[in-house]
Amino acid sequence: MKKLSLLAIAMLFYVASFSQILDPVKWSYAAKKTSATEATIYIKATIQSGWHIYSQNIADGGPIKTSFTFNPSKSYLLAGKTIEPKPITKYEQTFKMNVSYFENAVIFQQKVKLKSTTAIVSGSLEFMACNDKQCLPPEEIKFSVPVK
């Protein structure tokens, strides 16, 4: 019995060593001052070929939309909503509805009003990546972007 358990554990490690951890989306961040009291935060998703992430504007009943939460701060205020470029919109049989998504790369932008000469804009984002065969579980990622 002990040999059987050891064999099962060894096989599990063998199979796990060949399994691939899927991480099709890489995030990067930047900030640019547009005046002494304003800046734009750039949040970029670089998406592996064959994968996509969803727009912020998805109707209920669809996939998990990309969303942003910004931490309150004494050094800045949000100016408007996070904007995105025009997405691809197509009917997805999985969700039985039109959905909007991005492939390859997308840059989201958030304007902020600065209350001091420097600030750190921080928060989190949530997104879901899918390809034509599967969707990965939603991920939440924390970010921090210095504005100088």
**Tell me: the pLDDT tens digits for 114-142?**
999 999 999 999 999 999 999 999 999 99
The pTM for the full model equals: 0.85
pLDDT of residue 4: 40
Domains of the chain in start order, with CATH, are 22-147 (2.60.40.1250)
Specify the residue for token string 């002990």: 2
In the predicted model, what is the mean pLDDT of residues 94-122? 96
Q: How many CB atoms lie within 10 A of CB 118?
A: 11
Give burial (CB, 10 Å; 0-12/13-18/19+) of 39.
Answer: buried
Single out the residue of 45, 41, 144, 69 nearest to residue 54, CA to CA.
Answer: 45
In the predicted model, what is the mean pLDDT of residues 84-104? 95
Radius of gyration of the chain (CA): 20
Single out the residue of 123, 145, 124, 110 nearest to residue 34, CA to CA.
Answer: 110
pLDDT of residue 94: 83
Query: 110 near 82, Cβ under 8 Å?
Result: yes
**Could you give phi then psi for residue 103, rounded to 5 degrees?**
-120, 160
In the predicted model, what is the mean pLDDT of residues 2-17? 42
Q: Is the pLDDT of residue 18 over 70?
A: no
Tens digit of each residue's pLDDT (9 = 90 or more) over 37-88: 999 999 999 999 999 999 999 999 999 999 999 999 999 999 999 999 999 9
